[in-house]
Amino acid sequence: MDEHLNLVVLGASVLLLVALLAVRIANRTSLPVLLVYLALGMAVGEAGLGVGFEDYGLTADLGLFALAVILAEGGLTTRWSQVRPVLPYAVVLSTLGVAVSVAVIASISHFLLGIELRTAVLLGGVVSSTDAAAVFSVLRRLPLKGRTSAVLEAESGLNDAPVVVLVTLASSDAWGDTSVLAATGLVAYELLAGALLGLLIGLLGRELLARAALPSAGLYPVATVGLTLVAFTATNALHASGFLAVYLAAMVIGNARLPHRRAVLGFAGSLALLAEAGLFLLLGLLASPGRLPAALGTALLVGSVAAFVARPLAVAVSALPFRLPWREQAFLSWAGLRGAVPIVLAIIPVTEGVRGGTRVLDVVLVVVVIGTLLQAPTLPRVGRRLGVVEADRATDLEVEAAPLEEVRADLLGLVVPPRSHLVGVYADELRLPPGAHLTLVVRGDRSLVPDRFTRLEGGDQLLVVATAESRAAAEARLRDVSRGGKLAGWNR
């Protein structure tokens, strides 16, 4: 391998490992981990260790792909039963609400700050989109009441699509020649086509995963994420909204009976974390801290308008047909977190050579950092004050993984072959070593907690919890019984 390339790969790997270790720091605070990643990127960049990086085009391309991965993970973990009742409001907030927010921010930026109309529209567009990664990382740790959490999650997954269409159009040469009616029609086409394609690919992918007999369980997570990214790339190729397609396709697949579901969600979560870390490290490298002080004044005004005027007005207008209580509206207004999406979208005008594009990027970067520092830590307190947080209810817990990690145990799964000597053995005759326990037997469409009267049958699926110290002995004992019967090794 070339020595220079080797050093680049080494440096990138070390930086990525440090960024992943920073997750532990972020988990002890209320801040999204994105700020830690961004700071690490800046520390390595031109203002820190002096690593120069100015490839805006590469960053935009990788950033859009990383956002697709993050949206795929969000769709896979979104529960349809919770989203379905609030979907109409989430759709209105993601479309009409975005339009209201863009109009307010662009108008104030144009008339009050004297910013050119095209630049003001770009600024309003990129700032109006909430960020799925930030919303998922902060709000899923809050035990929110009723529909509030579902609205925020659905909105963050859906509102990227119209903003991407708007920013792409405003950054292109067609901006001056496109009428409002034509632009509205283009946005409508991209959203409708993206939704239909996403749902179609999701349904096809769900059937494919249910019927496919892959030779290894580890292939199912790769196949699942691959199907969601097919929705993203195929839809983009047809000039429709890939972001909307990937989110909906992932939601359809994620709410089906996925083979090896736990492994699939674990893989998708790790991949999304990797994408988020790499994206913000790259954005930190790209940022020019020397230019940011000049953007501070504009960023403070735009950020204040977005948080205290545009977002509350968008929530209120969108809520009119749904009679949403004012307390929920207030929390939805304050919980409009911004993160990777606005920064990545702000790079598009720079790559297209739009005048004022660099200024938009600097302003958006400052808005995201200051907004995250102010909003994210205060969300639990604001939620309790508004009565939308259940103080006596724990947040969602990954029950499958957390307790086993605490006791350093593994969950072993096996199927009793029809001709195995395990057939006919009673549960207490397994004589598993201390620290290993047969906890569940799945027989056909039934599951039962085994006792000493439970007799194993061919085709039974067994779940055994074993500590790290007893795992090898438990596996050996099960194999011995399967090959030699319950008396195997009786004299040992």
pLDDT in tens, 385-406: 888 876 544 444 333 333 455 5
Q: What is the pLDDT of residue 77?
A: 84
8 Å CB contact between 390 and 379: no
Separation CA 82–CA 390 (nearest Å): 17
pLDDT band at 8 (very low <50, low <70, confident <90, very high): low
**Paired tokens of 487:** 């008396």
What pLDDT, on the 0 to 100 scale, is given for residue 401? 33
pLDDT of residue 390: 67
pLDDT at 23: 64
Mean pLDDT (whole number) for 246-264: 84
Question: What are the φ/ψ torsions at residue 233 (nearest 5 degrees)?
Answer: -70, -40
Looking at residue 398, its pLDDT comes to 39
Task: Give the confidence band of 407 by pLDDT, cuts at 50, 70, 90.
Answer: low
**pLDDT tens digits, one per residue of 309-321:** 999 999 999 998 8
**pLDDT on residue 317:** 93
pLDDT of residue 108: 92
C-beta contacts of 350-358 below 8 A and 24+ residues apart: 350/56, 351/56, 351/57, 351/60, 352/171, 352/172, 354/118, 354/119, 354/122, 354/170, 354/171, 355/116, 355/119, 356/115, 356/116, 356/118, 356/119, 356/122, 357/119, 357/122, 357/171, 358/291
| Statement: residue 200 has pLDDT above 50 | yes
Q: Enter the tokens of residue 33.
A: 């981990």
For range 405-427, the mean pLDDT: 81
Span 421-435, average pLDDT: 89
Residues 410 and 74: their CA atoms lie apart, in Å, by 27
> In the 8-state DSSP scheme, what is residue 449?
-
User: Cβ–Cβ contacts within 10 Å for residue 480, how many?
Assistant: 18
Q: Are 308 and 61 in contact (CB under 8 A)?
A: no
Mapped onto helix, strand or coil, the DSSP state of residue 241 is coil
Per-residue model confidence as pLDDT tens digits over 18-41:
666 666 666 655 556 677 777 777
Question: By mean pLDDT, which of 362-366, 397-401, 428-432, 474-478 is the weakest?
Answer: 397-401
Fold of the 404-484 domain: Alpha-Beta Plaits (3.30.70)
Which whole number is the average pLDDT over 347-360?
86
> Where is pLDDT greater, at 24 or 247?
247
C-beta of residue 61 within 8 angstroms of C-beta of residue 236: no
pLDDT at 24: 63
Residue 476 confidence class, pLDDT cut points 50, 70, 90: confident
pLDDT for residue 482 is more than 80: yes
Tell me the average pLDDT across 416-440. Answer: 89
With 0-12 / 13-18 / 19 or more C-beta atoms within 10 angstroms meaning exposed / middle / buried, residue 472 is exposed
CA-derived radius of gyration, the chain: 26
Q: Over 90: is that where the pLDDT of 105 sits?
A: yes
Q: What is the pLDDT of residue 6?
A: 74
What is the C-alpha to C-alpha distance for residues 234 and 20, in angstroms, rounded to an integer? 31
Kindly report the CATH number that applies to the domain delimited by 3-386: 1.20.1530.20
Q: Is the pLDDT of residue 163 over 80?
A: yes
Residues whose CB is less than 8 angstroms from the CB of residue 470 and which lie 6 or more positions away in sequence, other chains included:
432, 433, 434, 435, 436
According to the model, what pLDDT value does residue 396 have? 44
Mean pLDDT, all residues of the chain: 81
Q: What is d(CA 232, CA 422) in angstroms, rounded to the nearest whole number? A: 47
Question: What are the boundaries of each domain within the chain?
Answer: 3-386, 404-484
The pLDDT > 90 percentage for the chain reads 14
The predicted pLDDT at position 312 comes to 93
User: Which residue is listed with tokens 């954005």?
Assistant: 283
pLDDT of 397: 35
Q: What is the pLDDT of residue 4?
A: 63
pLDDT band at residue 11 using 50, 70 and 90 as cut-offs: low
pLDDT above 70: residue 129: yes
Would you call 394 exposed, middle or buried from its count of C-beta atoms within 10 A (0-12, 13-18, 19+)?
exposed
Instruction: State the maximum Cα–Cα separation within the chain, in Å, rounded to a whole number.
Output: 90
At residue 375, the pLDDT reads: 83
C-alpha 363/C-alpha 350 separation (Å) is: 13
Taking the C-alpha atoms of residue 397 and residue 403, their distance in angstroms, rounded to an integer, is 10
- The total of other beta-carbon atoms located within 10 Å of residue 424's CB is 14
CA distance 357 to 125: 13
